[in-house]
């Protein structure tokens, strides 16, 4: 056997040993976070599914009741109303947040100096506490609050933003959009930075105006990022709770009583954890369907 053959075999053996060693090293570093993820993500999901087939309540006996909770859910008018309220809220919140995030991302992309300062200022509401933001905006929305004071200076009567059923969801959506648009703005800003400037320069030379460049170049190239932003904001809309809990408590007359708030009431007000787990499973399935839609659209974009 020649020295060259021996050398090649040693290299092959070392290569396979390295390939086996690298995944183990990576797994060791990932193990603490993977353990936390399994304990606080996967196990609660499976536990909730199992709990949804029981009538478990605190301090009492419980039995396995099969699919009774699911039958109750589909005939429960409170659940149906809260689902409809959540859908209405999402229909207001998602377009508003995406449009604001896209507009601010494009403005930020056009800034030539102080971009980091503006980016930090626009992202600041996202890292603000939901409770703090809700308390501030509730004061602003009050009859004698800042917004109604400004409307009074303009000669318009006070508006009950959180007291009128027709205004409460748009008012809450404004708060959540102000609080959460910064994250989507950064994602869209990164997408805008990935668009080659040569495309825009060529379109400008051909005589395309700003709207034509946006519609024919920016939007098509930004579409995969836009789909991702729409999906994550839709998920955020279905999970809204903090803002409603602080500002309205589900009122007035349950006009802001969303699905997560119904889950909270069933679990921590009525202590009906079996039925609350059923609502949680329904919410999980809704979010799962949205995630599958996201994957379908992204796969379609990658194949195009």
The per-residue pLDDT for range 43-97, each reduced to its tens digit, is 888 888 898 998 888 776 788 888 899 999 999 999 999 999 999 999 999 999 9
Owner of token pair 């980016």: 119
Q: Both 3 and 122 in a single domain? A: no
User: What value does the mean pLDDT of the chain take?
Assistant: 84
Q: Both 16 and 138 in a single domain? A: no
| Residue 58 within a domain | no
The reported pTM is: 0.84
Q: Both 295 and 162 in a single domain? A: yes
Supply the pLDDT for residue 265. 92
Share of the chain above pLDDT 90, in %: 32
For residues 229 and 22, give the distance between their C-alpha atoms in angstroms, rounded to a whole number. 34
Supply the pLDDT for residue 299. 60
| Residue 56 within a domain | no
Please say whether the beta carbons of 179 and 93 come within 8 A.
no
Longest dimension (CA), the chain: 99
Q: Both 37 and 103 in a single domain? A: no
Q: Both 230 and 106 in a single domain? A: yes
Average pLDDT over residues 86-110: 92
| Residue 11 within a domain | yes
Q: Is pLDDT at 178 greater than 90 in this prediction? A: yes
Supply the pLDDT for residue 19. 54
Closest CA to 278 of 256, 258, 259: 259
Range of the domain at 156: 70-303
For residues 128 and 264, give the distance between their C-alpha atoms in angstroms, rounded to a whole number. 23
| Residue 281 within a domain | yes
Q: Both 114 and 179 in a single domain? A: yes
Average pLDDT over residues 94-118: 87
CATH of the domain at 196: 1.10.3720.10
Supply the pLDDT for residue 5. 47
Average pLDDT over residues 162-187: 92
- Number of domains observed in the structure of the chain: 2
Q: Both 132 and 255 in a single domain? A: yes
pLDDT in tens, 181-207: 999 999 999 998 888 888 888 888 888
| Residue 63 within a domain | no
Strand, helix or coil at 57?
strand
Segments in the chain forming alpha helices (H)? 3-37, 43-51, 68-75, 77-110, 115-123, 130-141, 146-153, 165-193, 197-205, 210-213, 219-238, 242-247, 259-268, 273-303
Strand, helix or coil at 54?
strand
Q: Both 4 and 124 in a single domain? A: no
294 against 38, higher pLDDT = 38
Question: Any idea what the Cα angle at residue 178 is, between residues 172 and 183, rounded to 5°?
Answer: 125
| Residue 165 within a domain | yes
Average pLDDT over residues 100-108: 91
| Residue 295 within a domain | yes
């Amino acid at each position: 056997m020649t020295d060259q053959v021996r050398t090649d075999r040693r290299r092959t053996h070392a290569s396979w040993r390295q390939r086996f060693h690298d995944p183990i090293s990576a797994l060791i570093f990932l193990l603490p976070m993977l353990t936390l993820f399994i304990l606080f993500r996967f196990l609660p999901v499976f536990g909730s599914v199992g709990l949804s087939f029981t009538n478990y309540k605190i301090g009492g006996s419980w039995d396995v009741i099969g699919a009774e909770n699911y039958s109750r859910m589909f005939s429960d008018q409170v659940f149906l109303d809260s689902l409809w309220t959540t859908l209405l809220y999402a229909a207001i919140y998602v377009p508003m947040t995406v449009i604001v995030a896209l507009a601010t991302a494009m403005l930020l992309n056009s800034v030539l100096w102080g971009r980091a300062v503006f980016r930090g200022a626009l992202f600041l509401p996202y890292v603000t506490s939901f409770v703090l933001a809700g308390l501030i905006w509730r004061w602003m929305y009050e009859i004698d609050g800042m917004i109604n004071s400004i409307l009074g200076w303009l000669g318009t009567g006070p508006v009950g933003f959180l007291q009128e059923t027709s205004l409460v969801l748009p008012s809450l959506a404004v708060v959540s959009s102000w609080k959460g648009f910064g994250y989507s703005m950064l994602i869209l800003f990164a997408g805008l930075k990935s668009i080659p400037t040569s495309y825009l320069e060529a379109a400008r030379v051909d005589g395309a105006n700003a709207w034509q460049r946006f519609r024919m170049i920016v939007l098509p190239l930004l579409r995969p990022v836009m789909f991702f932003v729409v999906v994550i904001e839709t998920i955020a809309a279905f999970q809204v709770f903090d803002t409603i809990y602080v500002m309205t408590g589900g009122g007035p007359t349950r006009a802001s009583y969303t699905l997560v708030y119904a889950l909270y009431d069933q679990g921590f007000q009525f202590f009906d954890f079996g039925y609350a787990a059923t609502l949680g499973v329904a919410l999980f399935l809704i979010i799962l369907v949205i995630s599958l839609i996201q994957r379908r659209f992204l796969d379609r974009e990658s194949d195009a």
